[in-house]
């Protein structure tokens, strides 16, 4: 009888714990794309055609505590052969105070940056051999998805922003601090969003600094973005400007065009320019095709060991989301 009583007590305790335990909301999503790329280049190693795949699976868990805090956990995994690996893995805690993100995820400099490259979903940045020039208008970051802590302010009218800190490890002296913000306003039926981000990575000789300032205007089916970014490091003083425009047509197609120019002031003559167009068409819900054509030119500087190059890239992408 005593043994039965103990077993009954243990069962009741387990049921009580289970009934009081938080049950998380779970969502699973995935993206997969297949590409055919054709490049015409003056550099033999870059010339030719290739197939490619880019697939990712995301698991998201969300739980709300009795006190109202929302706790989340996100993990994203690449699923393409040799590239199979954990991409991002982070925990978040959010409430009236804002949101704290802990773990391997983007910094706020990425979260709040507005870049002309955002116009194209499948923008193909042309490869330039051994060059240290900007080939996109995105902010240059050195910490990527490294383990970090980020804080996001709660929405205040049209303003939101945050800060991130990446600890590079004991006595390495290469910690990264990032800040970013967005300010959105409605004007005459149009939506204007100003975004700015900055990141600094400490170094023994010279810190690495990166900034971006961008403006996005949405007017009905028309979207316009202009941005300027800079990158300063040892022997680098790169400035990149870009602009893009897209239009959603009645037949479900989206047509976009973009251009950028990048120069290194510390390397006379080094310059990269690119102009391109993108046609996006939704075949069915969750299935989209993209056609991109980019024309680029890279001029190596007088003190660069990189090779000058120019050419055209054409890319067909078939993307599915689940």
Q: Residue 280: which residues within 8 A CB-CB, separation 6 or more?
A: 121, 122, 253, 254, 255, 256, 288, 289, 290
pLDDT at position 14: 44
Cα separation values, 47 from 36, 54, 125, 213, 292, Å = 14, 21, 14, 34, 17
Q: State the number of CA atoms in the 13 A half-sphere of 280 facing the CB.
A: 18
Q: Which of 196, 186, 197 is closest to 158 using CA atoms?
A: 186
Alpha-carbon distance of 80 to 254, in angstroms, equals 28
Asked if 56 and 74 touch (Cβ cutoff 8 Å), the reply is no
Asked if 308 and 298 touch (Cβ cutoff 8 Å), the reply is yes
Domains and their CATH numbers in the chain: 26-321 (2.40.160.10)
Asked if 171 and 115 touch (Cβ cutoff 8 Å), the reply is no
Q: Is 178 helix (H, G, I), strand (E, B) or coil?
A: strand
Pairing of strands 222-233, 208-219: antiparallel
Phi, psi angle pair for 33, to nearest 5°: -135, 145
10 Å CB burial of residue 43 (0-12, 13-18, 19+) is middle
Per-residue pLDDT of the chain (322 residues; tens, 9 = 90+): 333 333 444 444 444 444 444 567 999 999 999 999 999 988 888 889 999 888 999 999 999 999 999 999 999 988 776 566 787 899 999 999 999 999 998 889 999 999 998 898 876 656 665 567 888 888 877 667 788 999 999 999 999 999 999 988 766 678 899 999 999 999 888 999 999 999 998 888 888 899 999 999 999 999 999 999 999 988 888 999 999 999 999 888 999 999 999 998 887 888 999 999 999 999 999 999 999 999 999 988 776 677 888 899 999 999 999 9
Residue 47: both structure tokens together: 């010339």
The per-residue b/e assignment along 93-116, b for 16 or more CB within 10 angstroms, e otherwise, is ebeeebbebebbbbbbbbbbbbbb
Alpha-carbon distance of 228 to 226, in angstroms, equals 7
């Amino acid at each position: 009888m005593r043994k039965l009583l103990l077993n009954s007590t243990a069962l009741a305790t387990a049921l009580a714990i289970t009934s009081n335990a938080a049950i998380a909301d779970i969502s699973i999503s995935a993206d997969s794309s297949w590409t055919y790329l054709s490049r015409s280049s003056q550099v033999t190693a870059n010339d030719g055609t290739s197939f490619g795949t880019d697939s990712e699976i995301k698991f998201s868990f969300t739980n709300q505590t009795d006190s109202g805090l929302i706790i989340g956990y996100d993990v994203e995994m690449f699923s393409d052969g040799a590239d199979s690996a954990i991409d991002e893995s982070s925990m978040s805690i959010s409430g009236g105070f804002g949101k704290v993100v802990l773990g391997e995820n983007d910094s706020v400099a990425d979260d709040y940056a507005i870049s002309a490259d955002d116009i194209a979903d499948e923008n193909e940045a042309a490869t330039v051999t051994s060059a240290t020039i900007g080939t996109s208008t995105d902010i240059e970051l050195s910490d990527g998805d490294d383990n970090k802590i980020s804080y996001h302010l709660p929405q205040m009218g049209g303003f939101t922003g945050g800060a991130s800190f990446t600890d590079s490890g004991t006595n390495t002296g290469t910690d990264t601090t990032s800040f970013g913000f967005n300010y959105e306003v409605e004007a005459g039926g149009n939506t204007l969003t100003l975004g700015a981000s900055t990141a600094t990575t400490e170094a023994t000789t010279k810190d690495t600094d990166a900034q971006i300032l961008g403006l996005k205007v949405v007017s009905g089916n028309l979207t316009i973005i202009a941005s300027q970014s800079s990158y300063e490091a040892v022997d680098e003083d790169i400035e990149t400007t870009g602009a893009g425009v897209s239009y959603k047509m009645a037949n479900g197609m989206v047509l976009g065009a973009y251009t950028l120019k990048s120069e290194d002031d510390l390397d006379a003559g080094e310059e990269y320019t690119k102009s391109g167009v993108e046609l996006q068409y939704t075949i069915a819900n969750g299935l989209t095709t993209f056609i991109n054509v980019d024309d680029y030119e890279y001029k190596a500087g007088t003190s660069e060991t990189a090779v000058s190059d120019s050419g055209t890239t054409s890319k067909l992408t078939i993307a599915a989301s689940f």
